[in-house]
Amino acid sequence: MLEPATTKRVAEAVARTMYARDHAARTLGMIIDEVGPGFARLSMTVREDMVNGHDICHGGITFALADTAFAYACNARNDVAVAASCSITYTNPAKRGDRLLAECVERFHRGRTGVYDVTVTDQDGRVVALFRGNSRHIGGKVVPDLEIGT
């Protein structure tokens, strides 16, 4: 079993690799604030091109942020995982200029299956959305031949 510091380094190496290939996250201005085993915190600012006809953040943008935090959390062990299903509940609107924070926490992981909860908040701590994702490991490593010393 890996030590906590080692597993955090694995998660960070995986996140760096994924982010380099994650054109969607980079285009949307998402920042990885912190990752660890079964955990990820990402943030982004709602831009003018992200608001809908009601002048609030488009739900798809909020979903994308939550889904991306979920992706980084469920891949943090370096085992390739994808979403099997996801759901989201929008609780408060986000507005142009808001800084959104998505924090993903693993609730269950065994074998090839995981369950993760993401809470999206604004800069004032107001909950914008609650997201639940179910992951499925599909085989393979995010970073092949990853070697992390203790």
- Select from 66, 17, 18, 69 the least CA-distant residue to 40: 69
Q: Which residues contact 100 (CB under 8 A, 6 or more apart)?
A: 43, 44, 45, 46, 57, 62, 65, 94, 120, 121, 122, 128
Q: Read off the amino acid at residue 24.
A: A
User: Residue for token digits 């831009």?
Assistant: 47
Summarize the confidence of residues 5-10 as an average pLDDT. Answer: 85
Question: Taking all residues of the chain, what is their mean pLDDT, rounded to a whole number?
Answer: 94
Residue 5 — pLDDT band, cuts 50, 70, 90? low
What pLDDT does 146 receive?
82
Q: Are 93 and 145 in contact (CB under 8 A)?
A: no
Which percentage of the chain shows pLDDT scores above 90? Answer: 91
User: Residue for token digits 């990885």?
Assistant: 32
Q: What is the pLDDT of residues 10-28, one digit of tens each?
A: 999 999 999 999 999 999 9
What pLDDT does 132 receive?
98
Q: Compute φ and ψ for 97, nearest 5 degrees.
A: 95, -15
Residue length, the chain?
150
Q: Are 120 and 100 in contact (CB under 8 A)?
A: yes
Q: What is the pLDDT of residues 55-100, one digit of tens each?
A: 999 999 999 999 999 999 999 999 999 999 999 999 999 999 999 9
Residue 101 — pLDDT band, cuts 50, 70, 90? very high
This prediction's pTM: 0.94
